[in-house]
Chain A
């Protein structure tokens, strides 16, 4: 080999190395598909928070150099909270954008339709905030649930209602898989925990504007507790009308929300007096304590939006982190390999560490003992951080801490 030739080759390989390095910096991003509600009738409040949480985690991951040397890119689709739109959105994300995983889902009915598409294409589907037990019961290998589930809330609510000694309970649930599912789960849980409670539920249209006719019949004979299982804006309208009619919260009747809406940024702006004395099921409370990465996510969110962080921010951040971890462990963006990795990993997320249960049924691919709290608002406009825990994470309930409304 002549000297000049070898020098040329040497130069060429150096150039190739430079090129390779450059392309790693500008490596083709790993696309993750996000299907959330960005317009009505979907819950836009939820969708926006999920997006905020995902963006924060995406920035954290990309600052660390991405995954497998490739940056993460999020591709959004607006599902409007409508199953049919969600199905089409996921279809588009998978077939057109070639995303490696789907996440962001926050309304059960949409999740149930969208996960069918993910199953058909064998793409991992990370459920950010869909609570319906049916999602778990389907037992799809592609679906993972680092989120909360209806039976868990039902168990918590039955505990509290038993502790309060409630005898008659009425629930208002929205006409979705989440709402009807939760109302039925509470019936089951009460049968086990407090079989003497007389319980019934009424289904309300989530697009409804006036629930007065549904509330009025309670005035003559108010129950001991009214449960709400609805998302805003319908939940806010219902709460205001319950308050206006003097049904709940009142000296006779507790108001107990099972949908966890008390930590939404627009909660107090919409309910005012009607929210005072409400008992709340919560998946995040500042007193719960989160790992260091969780605190980073929380502070970033607070700096960005001036709002207190809430569960949706953490759940969304965890959803994306889980996908990143799965890719890292599988060393590939192949759907099957990622699913295998998630089934066996111990995931250390922003809310703590857990493994996905392999048991079929309501805890399939689920963070089975996801921690929750119960708290009560005692002032109008009270931020969650100022509320008092009635039940800490994995701790017994102390009903005596609940304040009965004076009005």
Chain B
């Protein structure tokens, strides 16, 4: 069954307009706290974008995006602490490691679909988290690993995350506009039909899995150096739940959806923090209402309001 067409046609200009606005924000926001909040929003936007490639464009519903961010963060964290490599080398290694693990897992879960895929990826996420959390002697377990930072200035982190986010968006746009994007969507819409027309289903599903985990690994590695503390918390199932909620609220299968969803949800929960411990209640209710009544997410609402013609 095809997704509403207009969703996918929502303009490629929108994500870049959004990122442009984010680039200008520091002119108005100088408070380091809010800059930090925006950096964390971009961390989620990165994971959400990667997950959206997999779920929104290829139809593979993985429950492990946060686990790959955690693996990325520990890859660079452990390398920096034990081998004393430069954080930049660590980040590159994190992207490589999560890509390789993602590719392996992608090959393994290829035959599974729906709830089986969800549960297998969930199990993988839990195994990864439990192994890291219980290997106290190496990872310091729940206590978290202190890793070196990259810069003194918060603004530098801000533009590093923004740069990474923009690069990922460009990559996604190029990918989706090339024939490979068509193959992915063909697989999502009807796997059997796609295979019968000569699309190498196994190859393209694995490729999407690999790309999405590498992006999550990049996000986790950057976040580790930003917060200077890496802990198994990063890979909690609820963190993956948060990512999924962001994409659903923003609108799956659109480029701008994950970005808008990540910023909206994370900033909203930060504002609601003031109200006194009710942010998760309000937020969970909002997600349920969105999923129940506005299934196409914010992007769908925007399209209905006529913004779709911008494309």
- Interface on A for B, CB 8 Å cutoff? 38-39, 78, 82-85, 87-88, 91-92, 95-96, 109, 112-113, 116, 175-177, 180, 203, 205-206
Contact = CB atoms under 8 A, between A and B. Distances in A.
B144 interface: yes
B36 A109 contact: no
Interface bin, chain B: 20 to 34
Given A83-B144, A85-B233, A116-B146, 13 more contacts: A82-B231, A84-B227, A87-B227, A87-B228, A95-B32, A95-B33, A96-B34, A112-B143, A113-B144, A175-B134, A177-B143, A203-B136, A205-B134
B144 A176 contact: no
B228 A116 contact: yes
Nearest to B35: A95
Among A39, A175, A203, chain B packs the most CB atoms within 10 A around the CB of: A175
Contact of A84 (B134, B141, B144): B144
Contacts of B36: 91, 95
A92 B32 CA distance: 9
Nearest to A77: B273
Interface in B210-234: 227-229, 231, 233-234
A317 B134 CA distance: 36
Nearest to B144: A83
A83 B134 contact: no
A96 B144 contact: no
Nearest to A85: B233
Among A82, A83, A177, A203, chain B packs the most CB atoms within 10 A around the CB of: A83
B31 interface: yes
A116 B146 CA distance: 10
A150 B136 CA distance: 19
Contacts of A109: 142-144
Contacts of A82: 231, 233
Given A78-B277, A92-B33, A95-B36, A175 B141 contact: yes
Contacts of A84: 144, 227, 229, 231, 233-234
Nearest to B136: A175
16 contacts: A84-B144, A87-B229, A88-B227, A92-B33, A95-B31, A95-B32, A96-B31, A96-B33, A112-B143, A113-B144, A116-B146, A116-B228, A175-B136, A175-B141, A176-B142, A206-B142
Contact of B229 (A39, A83, A180, A206): A83
**What 8 A-B pairs come out closest when comparing CB atoms?**
A96-B33, A95-B33, A83-B144, A109-B143, A95-B32, A84-B231, A84-B233, A113-B229
Contacts of B134: 175, 205
Contacts of A95: 31-33, 36
A38 B134 CA distance: 25
A83 B31 contact: no
Contacts, number: 55
Interface in B3-51: 31-34, 36
A39 B277 CA distance: 10
Among A78, A84, A88, A96, chain B packs the most CB atoms within 10 A around the CB of: A84
Contacts of B34: 96
A83 B33 contact: no
Contacts of A88: 227
Contacts of A205: 133-134
A180 B146 contact: no
Contacts of A112: 143
Contacts of A83: 142-144, 229, 231
Nearest to A114: B229
Contacts of B233: 82, 84-85
Contacts of B231: 82-84
Nearest to A78: B277
A81 to B, nearest CB: 9
Nearest to B230: A84
Interface string B54-84: 0000000000000000000000000000000
A26 to B, nearest CB: 22
Contacts of B227: 84, 87-88
B31 A175 contact: no
B70 to A, nearest CB: 11
A180 B144 contact: no
B33 A91 contact: yes
Nearest to A41: B142
Given A78-B277, A82-B231, A113-B144, A180 B33 contact: no
A74 B277 CA distance: 17
Among B36, B133, B142, B277, chain A packs the most CB atoms within 10 A around the CB of: B142
Interface string B227-244: 111010110000000000
Contacts of A85: 233
Contacts of A87: 227-229
Interface string B251-277: 000000000000000000000000001
Contacts of B133: 175, 205
A84 B277 CA distance: 18
A176 B143 contact: yes
A204 to B, nearest CB: 11
A95 B233 CA distance: 23
A216 to B, nearest CB: 19
Contacts of B229: 83-84, 87, 113, 116
Contact of A180 (B32, B136, B228): B136
A113 B141 CA distance: 14
Interface in B119-145: 133-134, 136, 141-144
A109 B141 CA distance: 11
Contacts of B31: 95-96
B16 to A, nearest CB: 30
Nearest to B142: A175
A177 B136 CA distance: 10
Contacts of A78: 277
A181 B212 CA distance: 39
Nearest to B280: A39
A82 B228 CA distance: 15
A189 B89 CA distance: 42
A130 to B, nearest CB: 12
A177 B229 CA distance: 15
